[in-house]
Chains A and B, each alone.
Chain A
Amino acid sequence: MNRWLLHPLAKPVVWLLLGLPAASLVWAALYGGLGPNPAEALIRSLGDWTLRGLCLTLAITPLRQLTGWSGLARFRRNVGVATFVYATLHWSAYAWLDMEWALDALLKDIGKRPFILVGTAAWLALLPLAATSFNAAVRWMGGRAWRDLHKLTYVIGPVALLHFWWMRAGKNNLLEPAIYALVIGGLLAARRWRA
């Protein structure tokens, strides 16, 4: 397995896989596959993929430790960056399609809806992580400081989950948030247990 993970083509394949959900959404948007309320469907799908990306990012290290596939480590940053891209698309789709980039309406909405505030905070917290995702940034910061900064992911996961939970709480429709809570909780506990 490690041989495959270290193959030169593994990175492009991983990027391709990470891009697939976005490609399928573009396809759906172009060919009417987003249903009666395409804006709502797009915003929600991008949010779902952001959460899945967070879970995947958090899963890499426990999975590596569990299986001994050390080659997994080289994809951790790619998955993290892809998650940031989905989060940015998710927030931008909301700001554009729902709020039409009207700053006053945006600020009012963020103030009015706690789940929007929490989601926006989670996205903002991803910014420093994305900004330091380059090799040069790791060298410049030093490994320890870089790792400490990127531990922010352990907070962003639960905050993003709270955003989703709150959004669904209006209709008491909490099955999916509960599943994500189990996954994210489990992945964070795996670290704790290991340490």
Chain B
Amino acid sequence: LPGARSNVAGAMLMEQATAYADVTSYNNFYEFGTDKSDPARTAGSLKPRPWTVMVDGEVRQPRRFDLDELLKLAPMEERVYRLRCVEGWSMVIPWVGWSLAELLKKVEPTGNAKFVEFTTLADRAQMPGLRSGVLDWPYREGLRLDEAMHPLTLLAFGLYGEVLPNQNGAPLRLVVPWKYGFKSAKSIVRIRLVEKQPLSSWEQAAPQEYGFYSNVNPQVDHPRWSQASERRIGEAQGLFAKKRPTLMFNGYEAQVGQLYAGLDLRKHY
């Protein structure tokens, strides 16, 4: 799945990318188990084709998109983003996809559309992790419409120039680089534009720990651990690699800081 270099500001990070083997073997994708080594082992049962995505809600042109249609909807771009997990580790990943805004514009949001809700596939036959009660399935995430329309917000279909491996959220997933990784829903089957702020699965499970915004912020700790630093996966020094200081908005403050002007980030964590 080739993609042209992206021209979006901030999209081409000049940092050493995390090895493909690490990106595809160390994953949080609870539908395939809660251990980070589970998805690479068990996601073979996911069938990424045929696949459709329903885009509806507060839009003038609600419709179901077929995967092949989505693959041609906009030119594929390669974007190298930081990924910061809420657990305190990070990667650098070359994704392939296009800005979510392209899709949203196609369905013409109405004046009532204020938020976007993403729903992940929840099929027990394909996803062994659904037997566990760790979250209320299907997995749901949400963004404010202006966040969803931001050019950095990516609908990804591939990584490292290849089609997304199942464990990374095949056949299509969200990538919101300035938010903790769990905001980037995987294996999306529905995108719904709504008027009221949607409730995400993590907010529902532990509201005091996971807020709607979940912007990467070294100054606001998770209630159970510090968010001031992170461990970059696959660093050359291996075991003895120093942790890195976590950057405000994961280093995308120049691009997205204005979205949150005047918002109390301590309250809206």
Same complex for A and B? Answer yes
Q: A residues engaging B (CB < 8 A)?
A: 29, 32, 34-40, 42, 97, 100, 105, 108-109, 112-113, 170-173
Q: List, sorted by A's number, 26 A–B pairs whose CB atoms are closer than 8 Å.
A: A29-B238, A32-B238, A35-B26, A35-B37, A36-B21, A36-B25, A36-B26, A36-B233, A37-B26, A37-B36, A38-B238, A39-B239, A40-B89, A40-B231, A42-B239, A97-B239, A100-B242, A100-B243, A108-B226, A112-B221, A112-B224, A112-B226, A113-B224, A170-B224, A171-B134, A172-B34
Are A109 and B226 in contact, CB atoms less than 8 angstroms apart? yes
List which B31-55 residues lie within 8 A (CB) of chain A.
Answer: 34-37
Assembly CA distance A36 to B34 (angstroms):
16
B239 contacts A38, CB within 8 Å?
A: yes
- Chain B 17-28: CB-based contact to A (< 8 A → 1; otherwise 0): 000011001100
**Nearest residue, chain A, Cβ from B242:** A100
Determine if B132 is an interface residue (Cβ-Cβ < 8 Å): yes
Chain B residues, Cβ within 8 Å of A36 = 21-22, 25-26, 233-234
Partner among B22, B34, B225, B233 whose Cβ is within 8 Å of the Cβ of A112? B225
Write out the residue numbers on chain B whose beta carbons fall within 8 Å of the beta carbon of A113: 224-225
Tell me the number of A-to-B contacts counted with CB atoms below 8 Å: 53
Cβ of A35 to closest chain B Cβ, rounded Å: 7
The SS class assigned to the B binding surface is loop
Which B213-235 residues have C-beta < 8 A from chain A? 221, 223-226, 231, 233-234
Tell whether B133 is near chain A: CB-to-CB under 8 Å. Answer: yes
Contacts of A39 in B (CB 8 A): 231, 239, 241
Evaluate whether A172 and B26 lie within 8 angstroms (CB atoms) in the complex, with A37-B233, A100-B242 already known: no
Can you add 15 more A-B contacts, CB < 8 Å, to A173-B34, A173-B35? A32-B238, A36-B22, A37-B89, A39-B241, A40-B89, A97-B240, A105-B226, A109-B225, A109-B226, A112-B226, A113-B225, A170-B224, A172-B34, A172-B134, A173-B132
Chain B residues within 8 Å of chain A by Cβ, number: 27
B residues neighboring A (CB under 8 Å): 21-22, 25-26, 30, 34-37, 89, 132-134, 221, 223-226, 231, 233-234, 238-243
CA–CA, A100 and B229, complex, Å: 11
* Chain A residues within an 8 Å CB radius of B242: 100
Give the shortest distance, in Å, between A57 (CB) and chain B (any CB).
28
Most buried by B among A37, A39, A40, A113: A37
Query: A37 contacts B225, CB within 8 Å?
Result: no
The reply to whether A35 and B221 contact each other, CB–CB distance below 8 Å, is: no
Chain B residues lying within 8 Å of A105, measured Cβ to Cβ, are 226
In the assembly, what is the distance between CA of A159 and CA of B188, in Å? 42
Complex interface: chain A residues within 8 A of B34 (CB): 171-173
Q: B239–A34 contact, CB under 8 A?
A: yes
By a CB distance below 8 angstroms, the chain B residues around A32 are 238
Q: Please indicate the chain A residues that have their CB under 8 angstroms from the CB of B22 in the complex.
A: 36
Residues of chain A with a CB closer than 8 A to B89's CB: 37, 40
Q: Which residue of B lies closest to A108 (CB)?
A: B226
Q: Which residues of A contact B21 (CB under 8 A)?
A: 36
> Which residues on the A side are within 8 Å of B226 (C-beta)?
105, 108-109, 112
